[in-house]
Structures are given as C-alpha cells and as structure tokens.
Structure 1
C-alpha cells in the first residue's frame, strides 16, 4: 500500500509536467504561426478585391467600412476608386444556409448595383458538387465545342460577354434589382449547380444580402453610409 500511495503524487506530477510542456508547445506554435496565417488572410482578401473590382488606384482596404445586414452579421465594404470616381465596391458577404454551414464570398458591384465578379473565400461544401460554385455562376467558356464554367476574371474581356443570352447560370453583369437572384426551382432566374441546390441557394443568398445591404444602407454615388434618423421617421431596416 505504501508504494502505491507514494507513486500517486509522482504520477500526478508527471501528468502536470506533460500538460505544461504540451500547453507551452501549443502556445509557441500558435505564436509562431499567428502572423503568417494573418498575413495569408490579408493577401487572400486583397487578391479577391482585385479580382472582383478591377482597375482602381486607391487602397480599398484602407477605406473599408462595415454595414450590418438585416440578419445581424457585419459585411465589409471595400470602395474602389479611380481618381475621385467610385468605380465599384467589393463586399465581403456570407450566408449560413450552405449544405455544410457558412459560405463566405467577395462580390464586386458597380455603383449602380450590377454584379462585376465574385470570388469564393471560404466554405465547407461537398467536394466536387458544392465546390463548383467557384466558377458555376460565371460566363461559360467554349472548350473544344462544349461550354464549361468560366475560370478567369471577367471572361468577357476575352470575347465572352457577361449576361450572354442562353447562359442562365451566369450572374456577372446582372442587376439583383431587376434579376431575381434565386434558383429556378424556387421561381428565380438562375440555374442551380447540378446536384447542389442547397449550396446554390446559399450562394445566391449571400449575393442578395450584399446587394440589399449595400443599396439600402449606403449612398452608392459617394459610398458614404446613409444616416437614418428614427425621430424623423427613418427606417434603419432594409426592405425584404
């Protein structure tokens, strides 16, 4: 009994030492990787802005501001200017209606609200199905006589027009205010990804949230947040 009793403190001490070493190692690894991870996230964000809002000469990230959607989550808005002219905005938006949870995208809008381009930032959708949203909603590219989703920034620059007739998957060049950004199964105007309707609904929902939040809460001409005054009858909630 004496030996067993005396060995218990040693076991506890050993476990504490192992825990301390493991915890210290994890903390060290976290500190070592924190900066590179943050830098990679910033680089990815900058790349997405450049992809969805081309031809600007300001620093959209330096002018970034946030708007709150009607669902309560913040959207980051990156104004893109050429000289003094607002040429568009890149909006980091999201939807939590995906098949596997949250979908986050960067969508570029012209000052009038029409869609320039988009870039998927994060998702956990089914590989081979939901992941097709990366290109599905862009202009089709003719490859060896067959149409395939576009994979380059604004394929219209290479002879394919955004909003081309017959390409009912494509949302580039379309205006969410005049085009119902809902899958055809739900009475909308956009073809869903084959076998990934839930993902398609979530993706289009994220686009709609970006458009609605921006146009309802922002002066698109100046990219300055609209001030709402409840005492004067202002409504600070967007119209569904």
Structure 2
C-alpha cells in the first residue's frame, strides 16, 4: 500500500508540474503573441516595399492580402493590392516556380495593371550554393533585371533566358534556375493581367 501511495503522490506532483508548465507557456505565448505578430507584419511590409515602391499606395498593403480560390488564378498563392484612393495601382503576389534545379522556388512579384514588373524577390529556394543561389539579392544583382520590364502579347519571346532566345542572362553553369524564374514570372504575370476583372472583385472591401 505504501508503494501505491508513493507512486500516486509522485503522479499527482508530476501532473501538477505539467499543469504549471502549461500555464506558464500559455501565459508567455499570450504575452508575446502581439509582439510576434507586429514583428512579422513589419518584416512583410519591408519585403513588399522591395517590389512595390511606397508612392504606389496609400492603403495598408499587408492587410490587403487575399488568397485566390478561383481555378483561373491557380498558381497564385496570395495577392496584395496597392491602391491610391479606390484605384488599384499595382499587385504584389506570391507564386512558385516548380522547376528549379533543386525544387520549388517561391517568388514575390510586383506588377502594375498595365504589365510593368516593379520588382521580383525570391522568398524561398533550395538551389545550389555558389551557382543557383545567385537569384538572391545579397549574392547577385541578377534579380533586379526584372525591374521595369514590361510584359505583353507582343514581347513574349523576350521573356526567356538568352540561351533560349530571350533577353535575360543565365548563370555560368546554371541555366535551369534563372530559366525557371523567368518562365514563372512570365506565366504568372500573364495570368494576373488576363484576370484583372476577377482580381478587382477580390480587392473589394
């Protein structure tokens, strides 16, 4: 009986300790949640400003995010709407190039309704260090080659790496990575431009 009582007592103590630890963890979470959310929002604002200059909008850009559900916009994971007054001046959208050398390459693209690319940034990738990672701005300026390039039905042949007859540089020894990004920016931009009526509906309050 003594052993049973001792075991039971230890069980109660362990249960109480677990309960206290859970309560402390929950308290810390609730105390820090707002701060974490604020930090993440600030980081996202900085990232968005890399593809849409501040003079393009006067609305809260981060809060404008919409996740498209329509099959027409399949391949667009999230859209942010830059507005001046009630007019859409630019889109920032997340999309994924599925054919990188080492898998998916997640992108953030800034695009005007008239088809001008304002900027492109790589959000996530697994490309080879020293070769494919030149898509990162901290390593190379290559990603800036998209800035202020226009895309329309008359210049689609330009939207390829030079090895494929286009106007975008490839990397020495690593053509697959830049090709994947150029092709996805091209595909996704055309998708956005061809479904602007639907995007305008998504942007309504």
Q: Does TM-score exceed 0.5, indicating one fold?
A: yes
Cα offset for 1:33? 2.4
Alignment partners' CA distance in 1, 2:81 and 2:161: 28
Contact residue 83 and residue 90 of structure 2 kept, 8 A: yes
Alignment CA distance shift 1:172-1:9 (3 Å): same
Cα offset for 1:196? 6.7
Alignment partners' CA distance in 1, 2:16 and 2:177: 47
Alignment CA distance shift 1:135-1:21 (3 Å): same
**1:117 pairs with 2:119:** yes
Alignment partners' CA distance in 1, 2:20 and 2:6: 21
What SS does the corresponding residue of 2:115 show, helix, strand or coil? coil
Cα offset for 1:23? 1.8
Contact residue 217 and residue 225 of structure 1 kept, 8 A: no
The count of aligned residue pairs is: 192
Contact residue 65 and residue 78 of structure 2 kept, 8 A: no
Cα offset for 1:109? 1.0
Structure 1 residue corresponding to 2:80, chosen from 77, 80, 96: 77
Contact residue 162 and residue 170 of structure 2 kept, 8 A: yes
Alignment CA distance shift 1:64-1:5 (3 Å): closer
More helix by share: 2
What SS does the corresponding residue of 1:6 show, helix, strand or coil? helix
Partner of 1:150: 141
Alignment partners' CA distance in 1, 2:20 and 2:44: 36
Alignment partners' CA distance in 1, 2:165 and 2:22: 52
Alignment partners' CA distance in 1, 2:34 and 2:101: 31
What SS does the corresponding residue of 2:13 show, helix, strand or coil? helix
Partner of 2:200: 224
Partner of 2:185: 207
Alignment partners' CA distance in 1, 2:176 and 2:29: 35
Deviates more, 1:109-118 or 1:202-211: 202-211
Gaps of 5+ in 2: none
Cα offset for 1:206? 5.3
Alignment CA distance shift 1:211-1:7 (3 Å): same
Task: Kindly provide the CA deviation profile for residues 119-169 of structure 1, in whole angstroms up to 9, marking residues without a partner as x.
Answer: 34x426368456542328xxxxxxxxxxx83399x6xxxxxxxxxxxxxxx
Alignment CA distance shift 1:195-1:48 (3 Å): same
What SS does the corresponding residue of 2:192 show, helix, strand or coil? helix
RMSD: 4.1
